[in-house]
């Protein structure tokens, strides 16, 4: 069995500035433009049953403003009429109103337990979209930068179970076979968790495929599910579609690997929706089978025969479960009991301790196997050679934010390193240099720690500035050092200062909370319930 490799994040010393003297507050006014929205943003507030810190991280702090990294200065949001609204900026002094590009077919108000609608710009012509009810859409958009060819059209839509938000997606073309892989996040109730929060985080990696040019229909061909105990700071699919990269406080493990849905298409659908006859679990030493009993079933109505390789369960004269077991049991030590919730619990003691049973009764498909967290971890360990994990312990390197520098690559992530904030670009194909240090924001790790009310954090794709906003009104901008136009001396050291890094503060004229925040090379976009603000940060070179 291969062990996951431990890799290190190699800092590029030339990108650090040990003589950085801090940010100088600049009072230069920043041009700020305000657009009133026709309809309010479709904000979904946390429900009473979404009370954990993970719910807050995933949904309470959700960024409702989406930046199209394939096209310059183009942002999107969903309003409460179910419309996908777009604003593309050419000239700040001639701003148009946000325009509708697509309308969700679902009546969102009819769903009580929905999440916020989410989207990801998969490529220059594809968008993945969720309405927050559990339905996934693939949208062919045409070239979005060209009004003549842009047309949002549903190419695939399917109900995928419990509501989710979209984290990431990629478009792949291999041998004329087009596929889209997308990563979905859910927070699910953990019925058996008595000690923890009662919830776990699920990441579903879904692959949707179109086989050939002639076949227009897209369909799900693979579903992988990972499970963890904390919402990941960062999760992305590698550009080649072969793996995932996750930055998380707690680890994730595969609980379902590579379920190929093409092979199981011909199964009888009635069998899929039928309630399992029994549930079973296993440890290294034993197996537990749980059967829900009919209401009027008594102890006298139950006959169970244990043999070394065989079990026979009869309820009220009817054969319920009979067959050869996958492996031998200690039939003399195996027992059964009726529980308080009117269920029958059968305990089978394994003869071969440590052997994992893939099925209980050979060939029987009527039961459902339930894994516990320890078994998920063990399975993930055995699958290590299939997933080629690379592990980095971030230790005290606090995660700050992510940004898309090149839309063809995975998003970059920014970590605190001592007092600085360092930007890292993942490279999935390069094992020797999997995470490249590409930029540094001097002292920003230290500065941001003092901003107790910060909500969103971002930087320009060209690293010219970083910005953060508070929950209400205020936006802080930290620029990279630039040469001085006038002579300035450091009195303490008696030397001339060649560069200065400016800090600027913008205060928005609104009392509404900030719901979305995006940075481009030239502008900051700030979304509130009823307004979209544009802050001009840089002039075009």
SS3 state at 14: helix
CA dihedral (395, 398, 403, 405) positive or negative = negative
Q: Dihedral of CA 78/84/85/88: which sign?
A: positive
pTM of the model: 0.75
Q: Give the model confidence (pLDDT) of 300-345 as tens digits.
A: 889 999 999 999 999 888 888 999 999 999 999 899 998 877 788 9
The confidence score (pLDDT) of residue 381 equals: 47
Q: pLDDT tens-digit profile of 136-160? A: 999 999 999 777 778 999 999 999 9
Strand 153-159 and strand 234-237: the pairing is: unpaired
pLDDT score for 297? 85
pLDDT at residue 177 greater than cutoff 80:
yes
Cα 160 to Cα 406: distance, rounded to the nearest angstrom: 30
Strand pairing class (495-507; 23-25): parallel
3-state secondary structure string, 148-179? Answer: CCCCCEEEEEEECCCCCEEEEEEEEEECCEEE
The residue count for the chain: 541
Over residues 265-290, mean pLDDT: 70
- pLDDT tens digits, residue range 252-266? 888 876 555 544 444
Q: Write down the pLDDT at residue 392.
A: 58
48 contacts: CB under 8 Å, gap ≥ 6: none
The pLDDT value recorded for residue 108 is: 67
Tokens of 237: 């699919």
CATH topology of domain 278-386: Immunoglobulin-like (2.60.40)
**Tell me: the pLDDT tens digits for 425-461?**
998 877 667 899 999 999 999 999 988 889 999 999 9
Please provide residue 475's backbone torsions phi and psi, each rounded to the nearest 5 degrees. Answer: -125, 130
CB atoms within 10 A of CB 481: 17
Q: For residues 413 and 266, give the distance between their C-alpha atoms in angstroms, rounded to a whole number.
A: 43
Q: Is pLDDT of 189 > 60?
A: yes
Task: Quote the pLDDT of residue 382.
Answer: 44
User: Would you place residue 18 in the very low, low, confident or very high pLDDT band (cuts 50, 70, 90)?
Assistant: confident
User: Coil, strand, or helix at residue 478?
Assistant: strand
Q: pLDDT value at position 8?
A: 72
What does the pLDDT read at residue 178?
A: 92
Quick one: which of 327, 328, 346, 326 has its CA closest to 336?
346
| Spans of all domains in the chain | 7-30+395-540, 37-251, 278-386
Confidence of residue 372 (pLDDT cuts 50, 70, 90): low
pLDDT tens for each residue of 194-247: 567 789 999 999 999 986 665 678 999 999 999 998 999 999 999 999 889 999
pLDDT band at 176 (very low <50, low <70, confident <90, very high): confident
- Cα–Cα distance measured from residue 350 to residue 360, given in angstroms and rounded to the nearest whole number: 11
Q: Write out 316-367 in H/E/C secondary structure.
A: CCEEEEEEEECCCECCCCCEEEECCCCEEEEEEEECCCCCCCCCCECCCCCE
Mean pLDDT estimate for the chain:
86
Give the pLDDT confidence of 489-508 residue by residue, as tens digits.
665 655 656 688 999 999 99
Of 69, 170, 99, whose CA–CA distance to 519 is shortest? 69
Judged against a pLDDT cut of 90, whether residue 352 lies above it is answered with no
Give the SS3 label for residue 490.
strand
Three-state SS for 102? strand
Please, what sign has the CA dihedral across residues 426, 427, 430, 431? Answer: positive
Phi, psi of 298 (to 5 degrees): -115, 175
CA dist 183 and 214 (Å) reads 27
- Neighbouring CB atoms inside 10 A of 283's CB total 13
Residue 21: per-residue pLDDT: 83
Q: Is the per-residue pLDDT at 41 higher than 50?
A: yes
Q: In this model, does residue 281 exceed pLDDT 50?
A: yes
Residue 340: which residues within 8 A CB-CB, separation 6 or more?
none
Q: How far apart are CA 268 and CA 214, in angstroms?
A: 28
* pLDDT at residue 96, as a whole number: 85
Instruction: Tell whether the model's pLDDT for residue 522 goes beyond 50.
Output: yes
Instruction: Indicate if the pLDDT at residue 475 is higher than 80.
Output: yes
The 3-state DSSP class for residue 57 equals helix
């Amino acid at each position: 069995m291969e062990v996951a490799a431990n890799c290190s994040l190699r800092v590029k010393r030339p990108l650090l500035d040990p003589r950085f003297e801090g940010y100088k507050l600049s009072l230069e006014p920043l041009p700020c433009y305000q657009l009133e929205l026709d309809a309010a943003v479709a904000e979904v507030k946390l429900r009473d049953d979404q009370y954990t810190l993970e719910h807050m991280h995933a949904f309470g702090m959700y960024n409702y403003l989406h930046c199209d990294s394939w096209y310059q200065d183009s942002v999107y949001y969903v309003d409460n009429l179910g419309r996908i609204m777009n604003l593309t900026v050419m000239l700040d002094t001639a701003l148009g109103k946000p325009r509708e590009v697509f309308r969700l077919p679902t009546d969102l108000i009819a769903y009580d337990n929905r999440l916020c609608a989410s989207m990801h710009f998969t490529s220059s012509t594809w968008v993945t979209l969720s309405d927050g009810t559990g339905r996934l859409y693939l949208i062919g958009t045409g070239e979005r930068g060209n009004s003549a060819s842009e047309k949002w059209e549903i190419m695939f839509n399917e109900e995928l179970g419990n509501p989710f938000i979209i984290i990431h997606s990629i478009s792949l073309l291999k041998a004329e076979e087009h596929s889209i892989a997308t990563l979905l996040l859910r927070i699910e109730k953990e019925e058996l968790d008595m000690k923890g929060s009662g919830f776990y985080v699920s990441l579903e990696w879904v692959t949707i495929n179109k086989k050939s040019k002639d076949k227009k229909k897209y369909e799900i061909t693979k579903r992988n599910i990972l499970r963890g105990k904390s919402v990941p700071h960062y999760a992305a699919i590698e550009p080649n579609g072969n793996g995932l990269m996750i930055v998380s406080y707690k680890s994730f493990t595969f609980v379902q690997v590579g379920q190929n849905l093409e092979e199981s298409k011909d199964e009888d659908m009635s069998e899929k929706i039928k309630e399992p006859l029994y549930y079973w679990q296993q440890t290294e030493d034993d197996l537990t089978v749980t059967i829900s009993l009919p209401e009027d079933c008594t102890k006298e109505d139950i006959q169970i025969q244990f043999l070394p390789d065989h079990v026979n369960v009869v309820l009220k004269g009817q054969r319920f479960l009979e067959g050869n077991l996958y492996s031998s049991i200690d039939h003399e030590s195996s027992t059964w009991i009726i529980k308080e919730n009117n269920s029958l619990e059968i305990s089978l003691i394994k003869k071969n301790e440590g052997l994992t049973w893939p099925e209980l009764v050979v060939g029987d498909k009527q039961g459902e196997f339930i894994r516990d967290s320890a078994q998920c971890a063990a399975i993930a360990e055995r699958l290590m050679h299939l997933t080629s994990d690379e592990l980095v312990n971030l230790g005290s390197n606090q995660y700050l934010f992510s940004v898309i520098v090149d839309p063809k690559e995975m998003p970059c992530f920014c970590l605190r390193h001592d007092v600085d904030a360092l930007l890292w670009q993942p490279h999935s194909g390069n094992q020797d240099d999997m995470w490249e240090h590409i930029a540094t924001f001097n002292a920003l790790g230290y500065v941001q720690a003092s901003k107790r009310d910060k909500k969103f954090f971002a930087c320009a794709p060209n690293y010219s500035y970083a910005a953060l906003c508070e929950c209400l009104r205020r936006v802080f901008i930290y620029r990279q050092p630039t040469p001085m136009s006038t002579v300035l001396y450091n009195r303490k050291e008696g030397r001339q200062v060649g560069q200065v890094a400016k800090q600027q503060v913008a205060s928005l004229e609104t009392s509404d909370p900030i719901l979305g925040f995006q940075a481009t090379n030239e502008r900051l976009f700030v979304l509130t319930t009823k307004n979209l603000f544009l802050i001009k940060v840089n002039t075009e070179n």
